[in-house]
């Protein structure tokens, strides 16, 4: 007896589900509503007044056992039948939901019984600036010969920002800019090609190393940024000849001095490393 009643109830639920799916497939939509909300809203946050926007009474939502139907995936929104409103069921991360795709939205159906009515709801998620630009590495090490010509280019890895539009990376800055300048070229696919260009010649004898910082900044409010430190080692080039400490050297040596006698010294200044 109990098994028979369970089977009848189960059969009834299956029939209702089949009917719902048929309605969805036939696109028997009585109305639709669209909302736009920022991502990362807290659970219970207001999405929209679905009763008002669909022209329904709260009493109809209750008597019709209104409920949300999703086509697989997660249910991000709940229906409060007593108030006729939609609220956030769980915090929504736009980047997790859509990645870089814009606009970003998800849809679901609200179904009522007796008579059956189907309404489609679309919720667009707007981006907030909750991600900072991030470089693949914290540090970059380069070795550059001191005789490298002005205009020599060095490619740098881009930063990445999971946000979109104005909250994505808007500019790169290189500090300090004594010897190098930064050039950024926009690519057809929306990416950027970042290069460091030598402006003023390097001199290892004056400065053996250089430390720079590359900064990527987005355009959000408040603005976020990411940095990578660039360490440059200047390699020696044979650009200096040996130099004696004086132009002429004089010495007096007594006759019959034995081999190996040392009576004077001189110094040669040589600025290069030994090979």
pLDDT tens-digit series, residues 71-127 = 877 899 999 999 999 999 999 999 999 999 999 999 999 999 999 999 999 999 999
CATH code for position 100: 2.60.40.60
Where do the DSSP E strands lie in the chain?
Answer: 31-38, 46-48, 67-69, 77-80, 85-88, 104-112, 117-126, 139-145, 153-156, 169-175, 180-186, 192-198, 209-218, 225-235, 243-244, 268-269
Give the position of tokens 């590495």: 137
What percent of the chain stands above pLDDT 70?
A: 85
State which residues form the domain around 177: 139-235
Q: Does 267 reside within a domain?
A: no
Please say which residue of 102, 126, 150 terminates a domain.
Answer: 126
Q: Indicate if 158 and 122 belong to the same structural domain.
A: no
pLDDT at position 108: 96
Q: What is the pLDDT of residues 129-167, one digit of tens each?
A: 999 999 999 999 999 999 999 999 999 999 999 999 999
Looking at the structure, do residues 149 and 195 belong to the same domain, yes or no?
yes
Q: Environment class of residue 187 by beta-carbon count within 10 Å: exposed (0-12), middle (13-18) or buried (19+)?
A: exposed
Averaged over 232-250, what is the pLDDT?
Answer: 85
> Of 72, 98, 126, which residue is a domain's last?
126
Claim to verify: residue 168 and residue 229 sit in the same structural domain = yes
Residue 24 belongs to some domain of the structure: yes
């Amino acid at each position: 007896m109990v098994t028979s009643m369970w089977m009848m109830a189960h059969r009834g639920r299956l029939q209702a589900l089949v009917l719902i799916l048929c309605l969805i497939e036939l696109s028997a939509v009585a109305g639709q509503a669209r909302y736009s909300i920022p991502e990362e809203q807290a659970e219970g946050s207001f999405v929209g007044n679905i009763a008002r926007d669909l022209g329904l009474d709260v009493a109809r939502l209750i008597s019709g056992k209104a409920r949300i139907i999703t086509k697989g995936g997660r249910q991000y929104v709940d229906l409060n039948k007593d108030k006729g409103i939609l609220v956030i069921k769980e915090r929504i991360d736009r980047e997790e939901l859509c990645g870089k795709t814009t606009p970003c939205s998800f849809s679901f159906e609200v179904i009522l019984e007796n008579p059956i009515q189907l309404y489609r709801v679309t919720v667009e998620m707007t981006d907030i600036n909750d991600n900072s630009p991030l470089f693949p590495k914290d540090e970059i090490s380069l070795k550059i010969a001191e005789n490298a010509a002005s205009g020599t280019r060095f490619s740098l890895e881009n930063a990445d920002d999971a946000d979109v539009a104005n909250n994505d990376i808007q500019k790169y800055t290189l500090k300090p800019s004594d010897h190098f300048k930064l050039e950024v070229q926009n690519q057809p696919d929306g990416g950027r090609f970042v290069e460091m260009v030598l402006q003023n010649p390097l001199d290892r004898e004056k400065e053996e190393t250089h430390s720079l910082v590359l900064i990527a900044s987005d355009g959000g409010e408040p603005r976020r940024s990411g940095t990578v430190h660039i360490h440059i080692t200047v390699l020696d080039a044979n650009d200096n000849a040996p130099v004696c400490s004086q132009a002429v050297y004089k010495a007096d040596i007594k006759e019959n001095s034995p081999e190996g006698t040392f009576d004077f010294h001189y110094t040669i200044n040589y600025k290069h490393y030994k090979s």
